[in-house]
Every structure is written in C-alpha cells, then in structure tokens.
Amino acid sequence: MGSCGAIIMAEPAPETILKVEDLAVHFPVGGYFRGRRSLPAVDGVDLELKKGECLGVVGESGCGKSTLALSILGLQAPTRGRILLDGHEVGAGMDRMARARIAQLVFQDPYSSLNPRQTVRATLATPLRLHGMTDDGEIDARIAAMLAQVGLRPEHAARYPHEFSGGQRQRIGIARALILRPKVVLLDEPVSALDVSIRAQIINLLLELKDAFRLSYIMISHDLGVVEHMSDRVAVMYLGRVVETGPWETIFTRPRHPYTRALIAAIPDPFGRTRGVKVTGEVPNPLDPPTGCSFHPRCPEARAICRERPAPGLEALGADHLVRCRRAAELAA
C-alpha cells in the first residue's frame, strides 16, 4: 500500500483497544479448619488486543481462559494486575454500565443464556432502556436493524426463545451482545454448542459483523480449526499462563512451544496424516503444580533444568511472537 503515493507515510500503529497487564486471579479454596489455599486460575497474564483484530485464546479446561474473560468484563475482581478497556481501567475507573457500552459477551450455550420467559424484543430492549433510550419508536427501529444485521426478520422480535433453532438463538445472543454497539466482544466458544451444519453460518456472520461494526474480538475456543479460521493473533494458555502468542500463521505453521505443538498434534487429521508428536498425561492440579515449568511432566522436550527451574518469562522469537520455554530457541520451526 502507498507505493505509488507521492507522500510516504508510516503505517499508523493499530490502536490498542484492550490491554491486560500482569493479570492474576486466585480463588480461595479449602475448608475452615484446615488452612485455606489459593488456586491460581490466572497467574500473570499480559495480553493486548488491537482495534479490529480477533485474538484467539486456546487451551484446555482449567487453563484460565474463562476466568480471563470474566475479568475483562469486570465480573471477576483481579488479585493482581489491571485491565485497560479503551484506555480506562476495568473496576476502578469504569463502572458496570460504562463497561457494558464497551465490552460484551457472547455465550457458548444459546439455550441456557436466553431468558425463556422474555420475547426477543424484551431481551434486546432491556439494555437499550438501561442505557437511557426511552423512545419506543427508536428502540423498535434499533431492534429491527439489529435483527436484520444478524440475519433474523423483524417479526422474530415478538417471539420467545423456544420458537427458535439453536443457530437462530445464537444469532439472538449475538444481537444482544451488539445492541449497545460495543467495541470489544468476547466470544466464549461461540459455535461449539451448535450443530455441525450450522456452525459455518455463525462463523461467517461473526466475521461479517466484525468488519461491519469494526469490532475487536477475543475468542475463546478449544476448536483449533475455528481459531485458525477466525483469528488474527492467537494466545495459547496452560495452567493460568500464556505460554505462546503470535500471529495466527506463526502459531499454526511454526509453533515453538511444545504445548502448542501438542495441541495441534492432538487434532485428528481426516486423511490419517500425523500432525506431530502427541503428549501423554493430563493437565496437573493447579493447587499442586509441578516444580519448574508446569508443562514439564508432559513435555517431550523436557530436560532436567525444566524440572528444577521455573519456566522463563515470555521471550520474543520473532515479530510479535512470544514463547515461554527455555528450549524454544533450540526447537527449530
């Protein structure tokens, strides 16, 4: 771009819409008699989301990805660190109402996340009224426009959730998330509860809406195919920490962290080809994490030092590519 222009301008750095700094969320667990312990669900996470970008967050159950999402929405107070949404600190400088205008959530299960006793109109009008819209005509017009944007018809507004299929319900969930015109949308496994033949409809819709409204997405998913398809950048989490982050191409074609490689290797290839070395074992108990690097008991590349010394911080391996592994430089792409 700009090669034929007379004035050569530096590409403006894309604006950061969300910044997570050293976020930690520790949950107290244990009884009243024995010592209380704390479970580090998220333990020192740094992330940045640029305007118009889709950041995929992947990892297995217990890696902290849902806790991260709740913290970003101000629904879970951090133990340490802070979250800046559009320049304001979530929690401190921003109340729930202000947060709701900037960041919204699309839930995994479109069956349990809609109120069965409310019509679609009521579901979509409530946030508008809460945020100061009073004119019924204006509210109805906004709802009709929103429904059209997500591929539903105006008359659908009068219906109840049970009258819709799973895919249509997810469209309603998306409309509810977008009705206040937020800048950031968190997608928590947005298609995994849907029938396989419906998923493509919702994935295409989410990508269209992202362009139409200049949205930024954080998408949490365990489906690496969906993450590869939708993401601009990807963060891989393991036991409360980001272990690798980078542009989608780097993560999927030249992953460096052994855990990222193991995740990719675990996806069955329909043509029976191998995707790499699989790992054994399960995610350790975060209350009793292994010594050293928390992935070492399952890591095919682990050496004695990985068992003895904690994993290093995230280190840059290339443009925007960060890896938390002391052997990353040796593990050629």
Partner 1 sequence: MSAAPLLQVDDLRIDLALGDERFAAVQDVSFSIGRGETFGLVGESGCGKSITALALIGLLRPPLRLAGGTVRLDGREIQSLRAAEMRRLRGKRISMIFQEPMTALNPVSPVGRQIAEMFVLHEGATWQEAERRAVEALASVRVAAPERRAKDYPHQLSGGMRQRVMIAIALACSPDLLLADEPTTALDVTVQAEILDLVRDLCAAKGTAVLMISHDLGLIANACRRVGVMYAGRIVETRAAEEVFRAPSHPYTSGLVASLPLLGARAKEGRRRLKEIAGVVPSVAGFPHGCRFHPRCGRASDLCREDDPGPTPLPGDGLVRCHHHG
| Residues in touch with partner 1 (CB under 8 A) | 60-61, 165-168, 195-201, 203-204, 207, 222, 224-226, 228-230, 248-249, 252-253, 262-272, 275, 278-280, 282-283, 298
CB 180, min distance to partner 1, A: 28
Residues in the chain: 333
Give the relative orientation of helices 120-130 and 136-149 as an angle to the nearest 10 degrees: 120
CB 167 within 8 Å of CB 195: yes
What is the rounded CA–CA span in Å between residue 3 and residue 167?
Answer: 44
Nearer to partner 1 among residue 139 and residue 203 (C-beta): 203
Instruction: Round the CA-based radius of gyration of the chain to a whole number and report it.
Output: 22
Residue 105, C-beta contacts closer than 8 angstroms, at least 6 positions apart: 69, 73, 177, 185, 186, 188
Query: Based on CB atoms, which residue is closest to partner 1, 41 or 83?
Result: 41
Q: Which is nearer to partner 1, 64 or 182 (CB)?
A: 64
**Shortest separation between residue 164's beta carbon and partner 1, angstroms:** 9
Please state, in angstroms and as integers, the Cα–Cα distance from residue 185 to each residue in 79, 104, 154, following that order. 23, 5, 24
Minimum gap (Å) between residue 62 Cβ and partner 1:
9
**Largest CA-CA distance found in the chain, in angstroms, rounded:** 74
In whole angstroms, how close is the CB of 273 to partner 1 at the nearest point?
9
DSSP 248-309: HHHHHHS--SHHHHHHHHTSPPTT----S----S-PPPTTSPPSSSTTGGG-TT--HHHHHS
Name the residue nearer to partner 1 (CB basis): 167 or 182.
Answer: 167
CB of 201 to partner 1, least distance (A): 5
Residue 5 or 268 having the CB closest to partner 1: 268
CB of 63 to partner 1, least distance (A): 9
- State which residue, 174 or 224, has the beta carbon closest to partner 1: 224
Residue 224 sits at the vertex; the CA angle it makes with 251 and 299, to the nearest 5 degrees, is 65
Residue 301 Cβ vs partner 1, minimum distance, rounded to whole Å: 15
Residue 100 or 215 having the CB closest to partner 1 = 215
Question: Three-class SS of residue 235?
Answer: strand
